[in-house]
Amino acid sequence: MVCILNLIFKVGQISIFVAKMSKVPLFLLLLFNFSFARYFQMPIDTVLWFKPGKGQRLGQDSTYFPRNIFKLPDSSASEKIPSSKPEDICSIGLGGEIVVGFKDFVLIDADGYDFTIFENAFINPITGRVFAEPAVVSVSLDGANFIDFPCDFQTLYGCAGTRPTNGKANPYDPSVSGGNSFDLSALGLSKVRYIKIKDVCDIIREDTSNPFFDPLLSGFDLDCVVGLHLIPFQTNASTVSDKNYSIFSQSDFLIIHSFEKIHFVVFDLIGHKIYETEVNGFEYIDINSFTNTVLFCILNSDKFLEIIKVVNVEGQIFISSY
């Protein structure tokens, strides 16, 4: 699959994508969103592990899983009509747990909620209450050590699986999307890579006095998880980082990410200026747009000045301080 992203910008709630594609359906591009040149927004694309629980196994078959959770929420879901097809949800079962994440991105703490979990909760037309199959949510940076978000089993405050999905709304706007949204700042965390969802329906089923008791509870049904504040995960050696900015390569792109306004200039080997821009957020530069294999980049603001050497050797990009 080849997708070269040229430009993404956002006005209000309208995202406009200008891209060159090769054999990529348009709906795949719509899975990705970009939040005002600061953060990526997208659904999960990784399952670290899955331990199914008892009972319900809808959507666990390899015919559907994990593709059924690597997408946006079911567009037909509402507070009256929950998602119920194996193409759209995966039941993790009573006491089951699943750990999901993002292959090439880190979820970071920023203003407001940082991610949203969608389940097929709905309003019971007889009782008028939410039919909730709750789960405890935990997060981790390394995939081994997890920290739980507090979850009150009497009120279900802090749990996932308690709010119906509004499939017609913008899934990246927690004020209208439904689902349960979480803020990393509540745990004092600045970044994570993995999200664990652990079903706790058995705890509710064992307590008939619980306001959410229902003998029909059969386990958390995962629709999807979307990250609201993602930045690229820097794993390769071709990365130069600072507290306020980073420059790294991903596929054919040189990517600059800065939390403050910086001036970025590219020179060729003999000192001719061939590119210049201001960066405040993300800047993507198609390295193949330059005929030169050796480039020198100057990054500067009123706080620093740094020279970076970039070498393109048959599609492999090497970055080093100069």
Token pair belonging to 144? 């081994």
Residue 147 pLDDT grade (very low, low, confident, very high; cuts 50, 70, 90) = very high
Residue 257 pLDDT grade (very low, low, confident, very high; cuts 50, 70, 90) = confident
Tell me: pLDDT of 49 over 90: yes
Please give the pLDDT value at position 30. Answer: 46
Task: Give the rounded percent of residues in the chain with a pLDDT score beyond 70.
Answer: 84
Please give the pLDDT value at position 287. Answer: 83
DSSP sequence for 82-111: ----TTT-EE--BT-EEEEE-SSEEEE--S
Residue of higher predicted confidence among 22 and 224: 224
Please give the pLDDT value at position 61. Answer: 93
Could you say which DSSP state residue 68 is in?
G
Q: Using an 8 Å Cβ cutoff, are 217 and 134 in contact?
A: no
**Full set of structural domains in the chain with CATH:** 1-25 (no CATH), 31-232 (2.60.120), 239-321 (2.60.40.3080)
Task: Residue 53: name the closest of 90, 94, 99, 100 by CA.
Answer: 94
Dist CA 119 CA 236 (whole Å):
35
Tell me: pLDDT of 63 over 80: yes
Token pair belonging to 113? 């909620």
Task: Give the rounded percent of residues in the chain with a pLDDT score beyond 90.
Answer: 56
Tell me: pLDDT of 21 over 70: no
**Residues 268-320 pLDDT 10s:** 988 899 999 998 877 888 888 888 889 999 998 888 888 889 998 877 788 88
pTM of the model: 0.69
Residue of higher predicted confidence among 80 and 258: 80
Token pair belonging to 9? 């910008």
Q: Using an 8 Å Cβ cutoff, are 168 and 122 in contact?
A: no
Stretch 184-191: mean pLDDT? 95
